[in-house]
Amino acid sequence: MPLSFALSKGRILEETRPLLARVGIRPKEDPERSRRLVIDTSRRDLRLIMVRASDTPTYVQHGGADLGIAGRDVLVEHGGEGLYQPVDLGIARCRMVVAVRKGFDYQSAVAQGARLRVATKYVNTTRQHFAAKGVHVDVIRLYGSMELAPLTGLADAIVDLVATGRTLRENGLVAVEEIIPVSARLIVNQAALKTKRAALQPLIDAFAEAAA
Ligand code: PRT
Ligand code: MG
C-alpha cells in the first residue's frame, strides 16, 4: 500500500505546494482543479487524499491517511488524539482570537461576570479558553462567517482566526484577546509511525528540512 497524505484545498494546499516540491512530491494532476479526491504523485509510494481542512486530523487519527497537514487551530479543536505532530511547517500563519464589535466593552463585561454569547466553529477550544479564565459563556456553533454574528445580535463575541486583520476591520470588529498563535503542522498517524517507520521517517525529516 502506498502512503496516503491528507491535504485540504485552499490556503493549506497553496502554502504547502513549495514544500511538496522541495520534498520531491509532484501531484500527477492539479489538486485545486481536479475533482479527483485521490491523486497520484511523482512518487509511486505516495498519493494525496483531498479532505476538508477540519477533517484532516480525523483522517490521520483513524488511519484514513498516514500523514497530513493541518492548521494548529484545527488540531487544538480536534484534541490531537492518536496524532504525532513532528514538524511546525511555519506556513498558513494567523492567530485565533476573541473579537467583539467596536465599542463593546469586553473587559468590563468579563469583570462584571456577564454571561457572554460566543459564536464560533471552534466550540471545544472556546469552551476550554473561557473555562480556564473562569468566564461563563454560551457557545453558539457556526460553520461559516463568524464575523456576522456580533453584527446581527446573534452573539456578543466570536472566536475566529485573524491574519491581516482586514476582515475584522471591514466589519467593525476588534480583537480583544489572543487564544493561540496558529501555523500549519505536519501530522502523522501514531500507529503508522511504528508500522511504516522506514517509509515515514525520511519524509518527516525531509519536511523538517524543507520547512526550516
Ligand atoms: O473546509 P473548512 O471550512 O473546514 O476549512 P476552511 O474553509 O477554514 O479552510 P481554509 O482553507 O480557509 O483554511 C485552512 C487553514 O488555513 C485554517 O485551518 C488555518 O489553519 C489557516 N489559516 C491561516 C486561515 C487564515 N490564515 C485565515 N485568515 N484560515 C482562515 N482564515 C480566515 C479567517 O477565518 C477570517 O474569516 O480569513 C479571515 C481573516 O483573514 P484576514 O486576513 O482578513 O485577517
Ligand atoms: Mg474557508
Residue 87 sits in the same domain as residue 108? no
The model's confidence at residue 63, banded by pLDDT at 50, 70 and 90, is: very high
Residue 10 confidence (pLDDT) above 90: yes
171 φ, ψ (degrees, to nearest 5)? -115, 15
Structural Rg of the chain based on CA atoms: 19
Count of CB atoms within 10 A of residue 66's CB?
26
Q: How far is CA 142 from CA 103, 155, 168, 210, in A?
A: 23, 11, 17, 36
Domain co-membership, 44 together with 103: no
Ligand 1 centre to CA of 93 (Å) is 9
Beta strands in the chain (DSSP E): 3-7, 38-40, 46-50, 67-71, 83-88, 94-101, 116-120, 137-141, 157-162, 173-182, 184-189
Q: What is the predicted pLDDT for the residue at 1?
A: 84
**Residue 57 Cβ contacting ligand 1 at under 6 Å:** no
Cβ of residue 53 lying under 6 Å from some atom of ligand 1: yes
Tell me, yes or no, whether 32 and 87 share the same domain: yes
Q: Are residues 154 and 204 in the same domain?
A: no
pLDDT digits (tens, 9 = 90+) for 150-164: 999 999 999 999 999
Residues 102 and 72 in one domain: no
Domain that holds residue 85: 3-92+183-211
For residue 99, give the nearest of 124, 115, 77, 119 by alpha carbon. Answer: 119
Question: What's the domain count of the chain?
Answer: 2
Length of the chain: 212
Q: Is the pLDDT of residue 107 over 90?
A: yes
CATH code of the domain covering residue 32: 3.40.190.10
153 and 192 inside one domain: no
Task: Count each helix (H run) and each strand (E run) in the chain, helices first.
Answer: 9, 11
Q: Does residue 160's CB lie within 6 angstroms of at least one atom of ligand 1?
A: yes
Q: Is 158 in the pocket of ligand 1 (CB under 6 A)?
A: no
Same-domain status, 124 and 77: no
Name the band, by pLDDT with cuts 50, 70 and 90, for residue 212.
confident
Residue nearest to atom 7 of ligand 1 (CA): 53
Indicate which residue's Cα is closest to atom 34 of ligand 1: 161
Together in a domain, 85 and 190: yes
Query: 194 and 172 in one domain?
Result: no
Tell me which residue of 183, 203, 198, 150 sits closest to 75, measured CA to CA: 183
- Please indicate, yes or no, whether residues 74 and 132 belong to a single structural domain of this protein: no
Query: 164 and 192 share a domain?
Result: no
